[in-house]
């Protein structure tokens, strides 16, 4: 069982930056690939970043490539999403996700409760 708790969301102006964190419980965190999935009401959700259990491979949605960076610290059971040059279209609820397999889209085994990111223009 893996529990995921996100933090770091909030309000930011367009062009600004935010760093999301996801703290995972469980001793097997390092066995899971991790990711960040975002959902906006009325729009199809997307996985914006994914990272393997070792951190040696990452993948990004085209919409965020070059602006977002996913990373993880297995010693701290934490995965991060550094978001820069934020745009109004980045506004969404961001969910931390975990799966034994490296995936760039759902389904995922575990989901966090989500953190809201609001970008003002």
- CA torsion, points 114, 28, 53, 90, in degrees to nearest 10? 0
Position 48 scores a pLDDT of 98
Rounded to whole angstroms, how far apart are CA atoms 97 and 59? 14
Rounded to whole angstroms, how far apart are CA atoms 117 and 91? 5
Rounded to whole angstroms, how far apart are CA atoms 64 and 89? 10
Q: Which two tokens stand for residue 15?
A: 């062009």
CA atoms within 13 A on the CB side of 75: 0
Position 94 scores a pLDDT of 98
Q: Which residues of the chain are under the pLDDT cut of 50? A: none
Phi-psi region of 39 (alpha: psi -120 to 50; beta: other; left: phi over 0): beta
Task: Count CB-CB contacts under 10 A for residue 98.
Answer: 25
Rounded to whole angstroms, how far apart are CA atoms 5 and 24? 6
Q: Which two tokens stand for residue 43?
A: 């729009």
Tens of pLDDT, residue by residue over 10-44, are: 999 999 999 999 999 987 888 999 999 999 988 99
């Amino acid at each position: 069982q893996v529990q995921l708790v996100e933090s770091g969301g909030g309000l930011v102006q367009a062009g600004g930056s935010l760093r999301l964190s996801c703290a995972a419980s469980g001793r097997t965190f390092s066995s899971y690939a991790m990711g960040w999935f975002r959902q906006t009401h009325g729009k199809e959700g997307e996985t914006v970043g994914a990272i393997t259990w070792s951190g040696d491979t990452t993948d990004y949605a085209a919409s965020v490539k070059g602006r977002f960076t996913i990373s993880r610290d297995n010693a701290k059971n934490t995965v991060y999403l550094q978001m820069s040059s934020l745009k109004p279209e980045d506004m969404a609820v961001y969910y931390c996700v975990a799966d034994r397999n490296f995936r760039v889209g759902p389904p995922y085994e575990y989901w966090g409760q989500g953190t809201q990111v609001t970008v003002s223009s």
